[in-house]
């Protein structure tokens, strides 16, 4: 596997995990229910755009 692909995958996972954790934390702080679909949506799309 090329080095560029490894960097893309690592940045995808790291950036999307940090973003979704922060979003889930804000929802928890606002006393909203945790939505798995919203979590997955944020994880995939933010990761793709930032990866």
In this predicted model, what pLDDT tens digit does every residue of 29-44 receive, in sequence order?
Answer: 888 888 889 888 888 8
Query: pTM of the entire structure?
Result: 0.73
Rounded percentage of the chain residues whose pLDDT exceeds 70: 98
Where residue 50 falls among pLDDT bands split at 50, 70, 90?
confident
Query: Structure tokens of 14?
Result: 């790291």
In angstroms, the CA 11 to CA 33 distance is 28
What pLDDT sits at residue 51?
61
What is the sign of the dihedral through the CA atoms of 32, 26, 21 and 23? Answer: positive
Domain boundaries in the chain?
3-50
Query: Structure tokens of 29?
Result: 């702080």
Query: Structure tokens of 38?
Result: 């919203």
């Amino acid at each position: 596997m090329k080095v560029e692909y490894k960097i893309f995958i690592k940045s995808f996972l790291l950036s999307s995990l940090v973003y979704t954790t922060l979003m889930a934390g804000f929802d928890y702080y606002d006393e909203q229910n945790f939505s798995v679909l919203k979590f997955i949506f944020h994880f995939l799309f933010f990761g793709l755009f930032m990866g």
